[in-house]
Chain A
């Protein structure tokens, strides 16, 4: 019974394609996040949503569009994929915005070829 689950776990796709990563949490948390682990291994926040509302939008290209149909789901859609988008993407949730503890999904390894 996974608390934060994201699919798919692996995604290999060609440049120029559009792809989505889905995330669901069953913890009843209000806040959800997307993080990107880049080639230098830093975990960098991309977006955060609180009760379906966008709270944080870091300097992420417009090709990345998060969608939160309800507070238990935060999906990430990426248009016109580029080689530099290859990374591991982690979804996370926390009870509220700014909670000290976040619960992470297992990650989605995206490879753009």
Chain B
């Protein structure tokens, strides 16, 4: 019973274009949503977050959108750069813990 799901295991985008990563959740009690980035042989690192009372948060090239009615959030990266190639995990906070999705591997092609 996975409360946070990322249904695309991989995504390939051309350098300079927009990357859109998606995440769905089931628990309406989550109050914060986060994106983490993970390089091979490293632990996940925090990227950006959004409170459940907001619908958009922007930080440089990264924007997270939250659609509460659809229980859906997305991460937009624009423009995409080669260094963005990594696995991206969506996470949601509830009951004093973070619940993670299974990650989406993003590959930026030159």
Contact = CB atoms under 8 A, between A and B. Distances in A.
Tell me whether chain B's interface is mostly helix, strand or loop, or mixed: strand
B50 to A, nearest CB: 10
Contact of A44 (B44, B49, B96, B100): B100
B56 interface: no
Given A48-B97, A97-B96, A90 B43 contact: yes
Contact of A105 (B9, B32, B34, B43): B43
B25 interface: no
Interface in B1-57: 2, 9, 32, 34, 36, 41-46, 49
Interface stretch (A11-19, A35-43, A74-82): A35-43
B76 interface: no
Nearest to B38: A104
A98 B93 contact: yes
Contacts of B96: 48, 55-56, 97-98
Contact of A101 (B2, B9, B42, B49): B49
A40 B101 CA distance: 10
A49 to B, nearest CB: 12
Contacts of A62: none
B43 A42 contact: no
Interface of A: 4, 9, 33, 35, 40-45, 48, 55-56, 90, 92, 97-98, 100-107
